[in-house]
Amino acid sequence: MKKTKEPKTTVTIRLNDQQHALLQRVCRLKNQSQAGYLAHLATEQAKKDLLDYAVKQYVAGKASLSELVTKTGLDITTLMEAIAEVSATDRAARDTFLAAVKAISKAHKDPNFYEVALKALAS
């Protein structure tokens, strides 16, 4: 079965001598062409940037999941997993912060300190 070739687009970049030498070294070590290495690198970084953009937009309430799927071209599952991961990290940070504030509030016998922290998180 013959593999069909996808049409490709040529993108030209300009590198200074130092950048080119670095690229040549890494490609030699990886036994990979410069074009292949840069294509892979650019593709992976673009996916990360799109995902980062989508998560930030969703968390900020600026766009819905369906809007972000349309805008970024990412699948909904990938997007939801990334949002859940960020939300879990945010919850863990919030819980750690509140535990520390509660301990300080008790140590200084100042329950108002904890209330102020809760209000700050709410805003």
3-state secondary structure 24-86: HHHHHHHCCCHHHHHHHHHHHHHHHHHHHHHHHHHHCCCCCHHHHHHHHCCCHHHHHHHHHHH
pTM: 0.68
Mean pLDDT of 39-57: 95
9-18, 34-43, 114-123: the lowest-pLDDT one: 114-123
pLDDT tens digits, residue range 71-110? 999 998 898 888 888 877 777 777 887 888 788 888 888 8
Q: How far apart are the first and last CA of the chain?
A: 61
**Is a pLDDT exceeding 70 seen at residue 19?**
yes
